[in-house]
Amino acid sequence: MKLKKWSLLLVLVFAMSIFLAACGGDDSGSGDSGDSGDSEETEGSGTEGSDSSEESEGEGELAADQTFDINIKTEPPSLHPGLATDTTSGAVLDQVFEGLMRINQEGEVEEAMAESYEVSDDLTTYTFKIREDATWSNGDPVTAQDFEYAWEWVLDPENADTDYAYQLYVIKGAQAAKEEGGSMDDVGITAEDDKTLVVELAQPTPYFLDLTAFYTYYPVNHNVVDGNDEWAQDVTENYVTNGPFTLESWEHKNQIVLKKNPDYWDAETVKLETINMYMIDDENTSLEMYKSGELDWAGDPTDSLPLAAIPSLKDDGSLNLSPLAGVYYYSFNTEESPFDNVNIRKAFASAINREGIVQSITQREEQPAMALVPPSIWEENNEGYFQDNDPEGAKEYLEKGLEELGLDELPPVKLSYNTSEAHASIAQAVQDMWKQNLGVEVELNNEEWNVYLDSMGAGNYQIGRMGWLADFNDAINFLEIFQTVGGNNYTNWENEEYSDLIEQSRTETDAAARKDILRQAEQIFMDDMPIAPVYFYTNAWLSKDYVHGIEVSPLGGVQFKWGYLTEQ
């Protein structure tokens, strides 16, 4: 798409401003970049750091020092699997905990804490056998009761901050227990004995095994954490884990150190001995540390690369790019005027030049988004539901909205975003677009990640930057976010017909019919426009040529279980 005159000017403006911009922050999903969530594909296209877990011929000998240094940008909001909702927390939790299943290097789900499982003929009952050699870092055996306790803790209505509880709603009785006063005795989670966990689903769920690899489904050692609400606040004898690494130290707002877990059931596979996770919120600083050898990795999925550096990194061939099933968007607070009006929301969405943003600002080969579900899941969304960069259409929507609100013009509005060079640059561009196309004054509001999440959750915003990365490769992972207010739905938007369609999709076993139902739901969502999608993500990262066995997931995660370093 041809850029308008204003966007050509932006190229020059941003070429200068990018060098002056500061800071780094998190995305929100699994959700961003939940930004948890933490969430949504093809394998990474980069050549460096994309080898398999075994040394291939010609890679050289294993390095004597298996210490891996990486930046995670910021303090993880929570290292409690039941409370975490973001990608930073997930990046740590995925190394120190392990679920029944794990997503392997090929992107396929495989047995982890479960050594085997059986599925009933009607596809609603799963029976998992826990490994006999699975132990906690304090020596206790991992039991079926640990899973039962952890999952039921998330579903306990007394535990209010479990925003990802809905991930468990595929289990029979789970939603009723969490939201409707139902009994926990009716929830389909049963530890038949120490090593047998039986899970009954409300209906067949083709992605259930993938869910059991997600951190909300991780077990906790119930003998240690029961009655101790503060167990995940710091590194103490109570922070007991079962993954390939243990949490050695946690210097808040500075550094996390992980150590190889010698008692992990698959410890022979784990080559890295130490992982240093730094919390450097400035992308330029972390890139310089990478160049000087202080970091072995830079960029996604735990960090960001400076926008100004992207062109040169592309030119020298060091930049790795791969598709990422996720969407960057602006959330409208639909309870706040003027965004309680659908035509105003459509005006703001239509007045964004997405092609200009991805070509002139982010430059990571992202795809403009005019839909919610990424085209890696639904190919139809390559085109989407509305026109990109449609100032004339935006003005028409604005006129209708003003008339409905009884206004002559819009008052100033506030656009909020969390600390990041990229978020700031995009917000500045959008501020200019809305001023030019809608004649509205836009105030920019920047907050640090943890503060920002609190503001969004409390509804203290008008328009807020958000992102969502898939937790599993299914369209419902994007659509179910907005089924009810709360959790990861910051828009305060609800629609009964939309919610009913999501529920219908859960009981539909025919794949084509299920997709049709979900497509109808997305149509309703885009007609109401509670968010303005901006672009579909890509992964972009740098990796030293001695780093092997670390794959960047098209779902936005990374695992170091299979990573190793060779002699330089």
Q: Is 125 or 32 the better-scoring residue by pLDDT? A: 125
- Residue 330 covered by a domain: yes
CA 91/CA 69 separation, integer angstroms: 14
Residues 509 and 555 in one domain: no
CA 165/CA 163 separation, integer angstroms: 6
Residues 487 and 548 in one domain: no
User: Residue 225 has which token pair?
Assistant: 């954490």
Which positions ≥6 away from 361 have C-beta within 8 Å?
10, 14, 307, 422, 425, 426, 429
CA 333/CA 462 separation, integer angstroms: 5
Contact 305, 542 (CB under 8 A): yes
Which CATH number do you get for residue 392?
3.10.105.10
- Per-residue confidence (pLDDT) for residue 553, from 0 to 100: 85
Q: Is 32 or 187 the better-scoring residue by pLDDT? A: 187
Average pLDDT of the chain to the nearest whole number: 89
The C-alpha angle with vertex 77 and arms to 320 and 424, in degrees rounded to 5, equals 55
- Per-residue confidence (pLDDT) for residue 297, from 0 to 100: 98
- Per-residue confidence (pLDDT) for residue 10, from 0 to 100: 37
- Residue 149 covered by a domain: yes
- Per-residue confidence (pLDDT) for residue 508, from 0 to 100: 87
CA 143/CA 414 separation, integer angstroms: 50
Count of Cβ atoms closer than 10 Å to residue 317 Cβ: 10
- Residue 394 covered by a domain: yes
- Per-residue confidence (pLDDT) for residue 15, from 0 to 100: 34
In this prediction, residues 460-480 reach a mean pLDDT of: 93
pLDDT, one tens digit per residue, over 322-344 is: 989 999 999 999 999 999 999 99
Residues 105 and 209 in one domain: yes
CA 143/CA 188 separation, integer angstroms: 17
Residues 263 and 181 in one domain: yes
CA 100/CA 129 separation, integer angstroms: 9
Q: Per residue in 266-293, is it b (16+ CB within 10 Å) or e — as a string?
A: eeeebbbeebbbbbbbbbbbbbebbeee
Q: Is 14 or 364 the better-scoring residue by pLDDT? A: 364
CA 320/CA 492 separation, integer angstroms: 37
CA 89/CA 78 separation, integer angstroms: 6
Residues 382 and 519 in one domain: yes
**DSSP secondary structure string, 256-284?**
EEEEE-TTSTTGGG----EEEEE----HH
User: Residue 49 has which token pair?
Assistant: 């750091």
User: Residue 111 has which token pair?
Assistant: 């047995």
Tell how far CA 476 is from the center of its chain.
15
Read off the DSSP letter of residue 135.
B
Residues 429 and 523 in one domain: yes
Place of tokens 């500061």: 22
pLDDT at 54 over 50: no
- Per-residue confidence (pLDDT) for residue 57, from 0 to 100: 42
pLDDT at 3 over 50: no
- Residue 25 covered by a domain: no
**Residue 449's pLDDT band (cuts 50, 70, 90):** confident
Residue count of the chain: 568
Residues 556 and 504 in one domain: no
Residues 236 and 368 in one domain: no
- Residue 441 covered by a domain: yes
pLDDT at 50 over 60: no
CA 323/CA 365 separation, integer angstroms: 9
Contact 332, 345 (CB under 8 A): yes
pLDDT, one tens digit per residue, over 405-430 is: 999 999 999 999 999 889 999 999 99
Residues 272 and 326 in one domain: no
- Residue 14 covered by a domain: no
Contact 198, 227 (CB under 8 A): no
| Three-class DSSP category at 558 | strand
Which CATH number do you get for residue 150?
3.40.190.10
Name the residue among 43, 38, 2 with its Cα closest to residue 326. Answer: 38
For the chain, what is the domain count?
Answer: 2
CA 124/CA 1 separation, integer angstroms: 48
Q: Which residue range is the domain that position 195 belongs to? A: 67-287+544-565
- Residue 201 covered by a domain: yes
- What is the sign, positive or negative, of the torsion defined by CA atoms of 245, 41, 421, 215? negative
Place of tokens 């020298």: 316
Place of tokens 């028409």: 396
Residues 250 and 392 in one domain: no
- Residue 269 covered by a domain: yes
Residues 339 and 233 in one domain: no
Q: Is 447 or 557 the better-scoring residue by pLDDT? A: 447
Residues 508 and 549 in one domain: no
| Three-class DSSP category at 289 | helix
**Residue 557's pLDDT band (cuts 50, 70, 90):** confident
In this prediction, residues 149-168 reach a mean pLDDT of: 95
CA 33/CA 295 separation, integer angstroms: 22
Contact 486, 46 (CB under 8 A): no
Read off the DSSP letter of residue 358.
I
How many alpha carbons fall within 13 Å on the CB side of residue 140? 21
